[in-house]
Amino acid sequence: MQHFDVIVVGAGISGIGAAYHLQQNCPGRTYAILEGRPDIGGTWDLFRYPGVRSDSDMHTLGYSFKPWNAAKSIADGPSILEYLRETVAEFGIGPHIHFGHLVERAEWSTDDARWTVTGTRADTGESVGFTCNYLFMCSGYYSYKGGYEADLPGLENFAGTVVHPQAWPDDLDYAGKRVVVIGSGATAVTLVPAMADDAAHVTMLQRSPTYVVSRPDQDAIANGLRKVLPDGIAYDITRLKNTTLQQVLYKRMRTQPEKSKAQLLKMVRKELGEDYDVDTHFTPRYNPWDQRMCLVPNSDLFTAISSGRASVVTDLIDTFTPTGIRLQSGDELDADIIVTATGLQLVTLGEMDFVVDGQPVDFSKTWTYKGFAYSDVPNLASSFGYINASWTLRADLICEYVCRLLNHMDETGTVQCTPRLRASDADMPQRDWIENFTSGYMQRVMHKFPKQGDREPWINPQNYRRDKKMFKKSPVADGVMRFARARVVERAEPVAAAAD
């Protein structure tokens, strides 16, 4: 088996970022990226539906180390993929990526201070195996096997075409067709205006509304700064502006929900006119940021609705008929194509099996350490971004911290680092991995995720400012992350009895 100091699983935004940080900050370490698919990009390669784009700005979804220089800050999928390709080429990451390597299992041995990582090659079906000292999971947060299939009663009756956005057929011709998009999330609000240009009509059928906010797809300040300052400096200033603004707005919406709600709905009324039924179709039953908000660039969704090319129906499905959908109100929607934009299936850690010293790991029984590692699981990190800001902001912080950890191990001659609960942590209340977020796709799987406690480092705060302090300023040798030398087997502390 080939051995590497670090194995990264996944060559999406996170895995490519991890490679950059390892090269820059741990130049003496060998690493490989194992990627299950035939290409880089993860999300930005997989999703091919019309209009696929970011819904956060590229100055913060882009890496800290590589300026986003395009004019549009809300970017389409192909431009994001191109940015990732450029990153891979610029930093010589390509030769480290092993494509078509789907990893299925990782087994840690304390005696050897190594992970044995095994899987299957997509092209030959052959088994593959590697060993590494440190395993860095950059496998995203949803299943690549398929999207979430909601329970849609009688779907089999429908005689037309049914498509899930995660498996968009290259040859789907929707010109002149009547399309119904089921859903109200980011994917639905992207698809509706994108398809409305060519379709006969597009209907967004939603059970309940989501907050929708329009923003220009270009950042005038960022583009202005780039004209007078070097790209790197302009980018840093724009990132600071955007992260500060995001945090201020997020805090205001969480602390003043009623006022924020009124402002958001006023903006929608302005877009759609006083005659439009904003109460029914754009007024959610929850407060802003209880669920992720939907951003639409340049009011594209509202323009499509106002032009009559698209419409929103808020109703429940009774059943599907050969020609469309019968609704519980008694109305019928005729359709040639139905798009089930019903969301993602969230998973933990690349849907892999993990074993530590012969014991299977159940991540739901672990505590998160700073939202990137797991109690009693040695030499393992995973990248998980923000639900209320750009993913990469956090992915970058985690990478920097992992490099600090690895360098500390080099300096101290240690080979194993394991977060262990202190005796004083034994009474921590168990909180969800992500708190106060009511979206169905999170709620469905929250029980499978590790818990967080009520004190550092056992938290996953989903707060960029707090994370920055936690990842950049706190010492890696914090008394909770335990470091061990080769072949020194450190067992879990019996929490209730041990001294702190």
Is residue 86 within 8 Å of residue 13, measured between CB atoms?
A: no
Enumerate the H helices of 26-168 as residue ranges.
43-46, 58-61, 77-90
Please report how close the Cβ of residue 31 comes to ligand FAD at its closest, in angstroms: 15
For ligand FAD, the closer CB: 183 or 453? 183
Query: How near is the Cβ of 338 to ligand FAD at its closest, in Å?
Result: 19
Q: Where are the alpha helices (DSSP H) in 108-164?
A: none
Smaller CB separation from ligand FAD, 385 or 453: 385
Taking the complex as a whole, the smallest distance from the CB of residue 153 to ligand FAD amounts, in Å, to 26
For ligand FAD, which is the closer residue by CB, 378 or 385?
Answer: 385
Q: How far is the CB of 281 from ligand FAD (least distance, A)?
A: 22
| DSSP state string for 322-374 | TTEEEETTS-EEE-SEEEE-----B-SGGG-EEEETTEEP-GGGSBEETTTEE
Q: Please, where are the H alpha helices in 41-91?
A: 43-46, 58-61, 77-90
Residue identified by tokens 């539906």 is 49
Neighbours of 104 (CB within 10 A): 15
The residue among 212, 250, 196, 242 whose CA lies nearest residue 73 is 242
Residue 111 or 124: the one with the smaller Cβ distance to ligand FAD is: 124
- Least distance from C-beta 58 to ligand FAD, angstroms? 8
Longest dimension (CA), the chain: 73
Q: Classify 304 as helix, strand or coil.
A: helix
Tell me whether residue 110 or residue 382 sits nearer to ligand FAD (CB atom). Answer: 382
Three-state DSSP at 106 gives strand
If the CB atoms of residues 128 and 406 are measured against ligand FAD, the closer one turns out to be 128
Residue in the structure block whose two tokens are 């706190």: 474
Sort strands 101-109 and 368-369 into parallel, antiparallel or unpaired: unpaired
Comparing CB distances to ligand FAD, the nearer of 392 and 416 is: 392
Give min distance, CB of 250 to ligand FAD, in A.
Answer: 13
Kindly state the smallest distance separating residue 35's Cβ from ligand FAD, in Å.
Answer: 5
Residues in the chain, total: 500
Tokens of 314: 């808020």
**Do residues 452 and 368 lie in contact, with contact meaning Cβ atoms separated by under 8 Å?**
yes
Helix-strand-coil split of the chain, %, nearest 5: 35, 25, 45
From the CB of 359, what's the least distance to ligand FAD, in Å?
20
**18 and 138 in contact (C-beta within 8 Å)?**
yes
Closer residue to ligand FAD, CB minimum distance, 15 or 450: 15
Q: Which residue ranges make up the site for ligand FAD (CB under 6 A)? A: 9-15, 34-37, 42-43, 47, 52, 54-56, 61, 102-103, 138-140, 144, 187, 350-352, 383, 385, 390-391
Cα angle vertex 383, ends 378, 386, to 5°? 135
Smallest separation, CB 19 to ligand FAD (Å): 11
Minimum Å gap between C-beta 344 and ligand FAD is: 6
Q: How many whole angstroms separate alpha carbon 306 and alpha carbon 310?
A: 8
| 110 vs 348, beta carbon nearer ligand FAD | 348
Residue 187 or 260: the one with the smaller Cβ distance to ligand FAD is 187
CA distances from 461 to 30, 216, 432, 434, 443 (A): 32, 29, 11, 8, 17
DSSP for residue 200: S
Residue 73: CB minimum distance to ligand FAD, A: 11
Residue closer to ligand FAD by CB (options 59, 114) is 59
